[in-house]
Structure 1
Amino acid sequence: MICAKGSAGIGIGMNVLFPEWKNFGKEDMLDAMHNLGINVICVEFEAIHDRVNPEAEAKLDALIEEYLNKGDDSDAVFTFNYSPLISNVCKKHNVKYVAWVYDSPLVSLFSYTIINPCNHVYVFDRALADRFASEGITTVHYMPLAANVRRLDAMHVSPSGNGRGLAPEAVKRVSGDIAFVGSMYNEKHQLYERLSSMPDFAKGYLDGIIEAQMKVQGYFFMEEMLKGPVLEEMKKALDYKPNRDGVETPEYVYANYFLARKLAERERRHLLGMLAEELPDSRVNLYTHNPTPELPGVHNVGAVDYYNDMPYVFKCSRINLNISLRSIQTGIPLRCMDIMGAGGFLMSNYQADLLEHFIPGEDFVYYESDEDLISKCRYYLEHDEERRAIAANGHIKVAAAHTYEDRVRQMFM
């Protein structure tokens, strides 16, 4: 059951129970905890999304009794993302619960359990942290995401003796001028499509605010635009009722889960198609699960594995795009940390938190409009030395202050 036993370090003697599910970052987090001397007890826990599950609660009861010192602030339960169920169990046992959120949106944050005194919840979006603070909630804090730079640096493009090199024949698949790794949100039965029964005026209104939001960087206004007759029509088409322990509003759910994802589909399709058309001599690669026949000029390479393949894309692509899901209002998406941590050149839409930790034009580059994106991609494809210097600076900044070890120290020590 103990999946990472700590070596001698500043965390020696600390026990952390890690109910883990299928999430990014598990291996990197375990590596950091091990390096800092923390004893980690892992257990599979797919019930993290459940609000009530007596069997899962009993399992956690037994694990806490066996492995943790109740009431001792040095021991803790840790998860990626926030679980109201786990929070309630930790409250019962007087055990510290540390949750590091990397998903956005995450409706479980709006459970009334968020105020449980055992909670130490860290979100990567400054605007979201401020939203909770404005309501007097003291259990939610701002914490950027991270990269395992040591692991990423060991992934060499040329074959190496450590077995982690990339064979020459595999380099072509991960190489290109411009790359985007991520979902195109073009799956069938997308939530937005379930609103199809709305009258034309309501559909037109929603399309209008989606198109308007596409043109505005740095401010997410769709949630506040959902009110009156349009909101009532959305409820008629597909009613949303808050969780029994939740205080989330229908406006929050519709804006962040329905509209923001539809916007991402349109925006990503538009930007990638535009780059392929405006820069025809450049290879634009898309790494995603679903086919994209509507983008004939874009090379859809298929999905890549997060740990084993994706870092090579960032290392071998001259420009790596980040096109944020707009529900991330100011935060630095995990993809940005992944790119810079791997030593890749980051071209991102505007995200305010990026400017809090990195210098634009020195560590990364951001674009402000369609025309600006085309212009900057063309410029940096023609200025390799400058582009490589910016990528190197971003990598240095991440290695210096944004590793998993940095975050473990901040959260636990």
Structure 2
Amino acid sequence: MEKIKVALLLSGVEGFGDKHLIKGIQEFLPDTEVELKIFHIDPQNVAKTVKEIEEYNPQFILDFNTKGIIWGEKENQKYPLHVLLGVIHITIFTEDPILHSPNLLQLRNSPNMVFLITDLRYGEFLASLGFQNIYYFTPCVNLNLIPPKGEKEISTIFVGNVIDPSLIVENWSQNMDNAIRDFGIEVGEFCFRNPEIAPIYAVEYLLPLMNPQFQESFNNFRRENPHLYFLWLTQVGLYTSSRRNWFILNFLEGTDITIVGKVEGNLPEGIHVADISTFEERISYINKAKLALTAFPAFVPSGIGFTPLEIAACETALMINYRHTLGSFFKPNEEIIVYNPLDRMDIEEKLLFYLENDEDRQIIAEKGFKAVKERFTCEDRIEFIKNLIKEIYKEILSQQKKQ
């Protein structure tokens, strides 16, 4: 029996979290029934990549966040490559699909699409666009990408991007209708005060409270320009995340904290920025820290994401904001430290306590690492993907026999 051929298409702009799955796919997907070939899309010569894929003749194409979608033409109509080749396309969403809505809007009528999501809320958005064949699995860490535990020479790091929200509003003022801008701020502030609510749901709660004229104009805007509406939601999500991170760091002025992430704006005294540009440099900083403070971004609405798992995998004590789904992944205040993102005193007291009490902090770090090792490694996730591919292929063969 011939092996099932899977083509993994990489765009070169995959996220840091994707690296765990890419490494896992390389290690665990191929077996006696499945073979894998990786294609790196050449943006300067996409036709060359397409020719190589055609020569390989896969039954499945795999990519991340629709970044591997290649468009072609047939009879003056635009089609994604998998339709032109007559194969199945599987997209793994490690990021919020709303960030990739331009591609998704074009894919709405494309057959043979399968989606793997790492946050249940991602499935709700995909389903709202009419997509089916949606499967969930939790994020994971490939421990082969985590360096050996070394000296914890850095006291505290903040892992995440830190952008002054006023800079975002300033940009909106130059590029956005004033009424829609002001509503965006209103939605962002509401999500900041209610961390369990994502912007896409906050809009539906707040819009009926606006005046009828604005309701009508806003509904017209999103009905007539869905791509611009999703872009607006993306911007509101960015504002919400920035507002939360900026709030936390500004009242920690004077605390020795190193930010591991992108920074825009003037930081408070005592806060430094790590000089990183690669996945390896980022993981190295996390691995050297005693404690890592972070906050869920708006684009991880209900799941755990990859960053908290990476922190725990480095045996660095993870301190993250509480939400009701968190207990599905870690035991709060046993495997991780949790805080109320709106309670300044709670954050300050817990940060100080765990920095002053080495034994308590180390116990948290050790239990967090054990949890990742037992529940969040990539081998099981790749096995799930492989079994799904085999089941789909078996169904295809069954249908072909009936014809």
Q: Aligned match of 1:98 in 90, 95, 101?
A: 90
- In 2, Cα distance between equivalents of 1:189 and 1:287: 20
Cα gap change, 1:126/1:353 in structure 2, threshold over 3 Å: closer, same or farther? farther
Q: Aligned match of 1:185 in 163, 171, 176?
A: 163
- In 1, Cα distance between equivalents of 2:332 and 2:109: 36
Whether the aligned pair in 2 keeps the contact of 1:343 and 1:394 (CA below 8 Å) is: yes
Show the counterpart of 1:275.
252
Show the counterpart of 1:301.
273
Q: Aligned match of 1:259 in 229, 236, 245?
A: 236
Whether the aligned pair in 1 keeps the contact of 2:286 and 2:314 (CA below 8 Å) is: yes
TM-score by length of 2: 0.76
Q: Aligned match of 1:155 in 145, 148, 168?
A: 148
Whether the aligned pair in 1 keeps the contact of 2:82 and 2:88 (CA below 8 Å) is: yes
Q: Aligned pair 1:362/2:352, yes or no?
A: no
| Structure 1 counterpart SS, 2:252 | helix
Output the amino acid matched with 1:395.
F
Whether the aligned pair in 1 keeps the contact of 2:165 and 2:242 (CA below 8 Å) is: no
Show the counterpart of 2:8.
18
Cα gap change, 1:97/1:204 in structure 2, threshold over 3 Å: closer, same or farther? closer
Per the TM alignment, residue 25 of structure 1 is displaced from its structure 2 partner at its CA by 4.9
Unaligned runs of 5+ in 1: 1-11, 48-52, 71-75, 159-170, 243-247
Instruction: Let me know the Cα RMSD of the aligned residues.
Output: 3.6
Unaligned runs of 5+ in 2: 72-78, 388-403
| Structure 2 counterpart SS, 1:396 | helix
Structural mapping, 1:303-318, within 5 Å: 303-318=275-290
Per the TM alignment, residue 330 of structure 1 is displaced from its structure 2 partner at its CA by 0.9
- In 1, Cα distance between equivalents of 2:222 and 2:127: 29
Cα gap change, 1:119/1:204 in structure 2, threshold over 3 Å: closer, same or farther? closer
- In 2, Cα distance between equivalents of 1:180 and 1:231: 39
Per the TM alignment, residue 155 of structure 1 is displaced from its structure 2 partner at its CA by 3.3
Whether the aligned pair in 1 keeps the contact of 2:319 and 2:339 (CA below 8 Å) is: yes
- In 1, Cα distance between equivalents of 2:214 and 2:270: 37
Whether the aligned pair in 1 keeps the contact of 2:160 and 2:260 (CA below 8 Å) is: yes
- In 2, Cα distance between equivalents of 1:198 and 1:116: 32
Q: Aligned match of 1:130 in 108, 124, 133?
A: 124
Whether the aligned pair in 1 keeps the contact of 2:237 and 2:298 (CA below 8 Å) is: yes
Show the counterpart of 1:4.
none
Show the counterpart of 2:298.
326
Per the TM alignment, residue 137 of structure 1 is displaced from its structure 2 partner at its CA by 3.5
Point out which structure has higher relative CO (alpha carbons under 8 A, 6+ apart): 2
- In 1, Cα distance between equivalents of 2:7 and 2:172: 40
Q: Aligned match of 1:401 in 361, 375, 378?
A: 375
Per the TM alignment, residue 339 of structure 1 is displaced from its structure 2 partner at its CA by 0.9
Per the TM alignment, residue 203 of structure 1 is displaced from its structure 2 partner at its CA by 5.3
| Structure 2 counterpart SS, 1:309 | helix
Cα gap change, 1:77/1:202 in structure 2, threshold over 3 Å: closer, same or farther? closer
Show the counterpart of 2:393.
none
Per the TM alignment, residue 360 of structure 1 is displaced from its structure 2 partner at its CA by 1.4
Show the counterpart of 2:203.
223
Q: Aligned pair 1:81/2:65, yes or no?
A: yes
Cα gap change, 1:233/1:365 in structure 2, threshold over 3 Å: closer, same or farther? farther
Q: Aligned match of 2:41 in 40, 45, 49?
A: 45
| Structure 1 counterpart SS, 2:315 | coil
TM-score by length of 1: 0.74
| Structure 2 counterpart SS, 1:111 | helix
Identity %: 18
| Structure 2 counterpart SS, 1:40 | strand
- In 1, Cα distance between equivalents of 2:323 and 2:81: 36
- In 1, Cα distance between equivalents of 2:299 and 2:215: 19
Show the counterpart of 1:167.
none
| Structure 2 counterpart SS, 1:308 | helix
- In 2, Cα distance between equivalents of 1:134 and 1:144: 21
Q: How many residues align?
A: 362
Q: Aligned match of 2:257 in 277, 281, 284?
A: 284
Cα gap change, 1:198/1:127 in structure 2, threshold over 3 Å: closer, same or farther? closer
Output the amino acid matched with 2:354.
Y
Whether the aligned pair in 2 keeps the contact of 1:231 and 1:251 (CA below 8 Å) is: no
Deviations 1:254-285 (A, max 9, x none): 12x22221222232122112123xxx5x4222
Output the amino acid matched with 1:17.
A
- In 1, Cα distance between equivalents of 2:93 and 2:244: 25
Per the TM alignment, residue 15 of structure 1 is displaced from its structure 2 partner at its CA by 3.4
Show the counterpart of 1:381.
355
Per the TM alignment, residue 204 of structure 1 is displaced from its structure 2 partner at its CA by 5.0
Whether the aligned pair in 2 keeps the contact of 1:97 and 1:118 (CA below 8 Å) is: yes
Per the TM alignment, residue 232 of structure 1 is displaced from its structure 2 partner at its CA by 7.6
Whether the aligned pair in 1 keeps the contact of 2:117 and 2:134 (CA below 8 Å) is: yes
Per the TM alignment, residue 127 of structure 1 is displaced from its structure 2 partner at its CA by 1.6
| Structure 1 counterpart SS, 2:163 | coil
Cα gap change, 1:193/1:230 in structure 2, threshold over 3 Å: closer, same or farther? farther
- In 1, Cα distance between equivalents of 2:118 and 2:94: 7
| Structure 1 counterpart SS, 2:90 | strand
- In 1, Cα distance between equivalents of 2:177 and 2:21: 48
| Structure 2 counterpart SS, 1:147 | coil
- In 2, Cα distance between equivalents of 1:45 and 1:344: 36
Whether the aligned pair in 1 keeps the contact of 2:287 and 2:315 (CA below 8 Å) is: yes
Show the counterpart of 1:118.
112
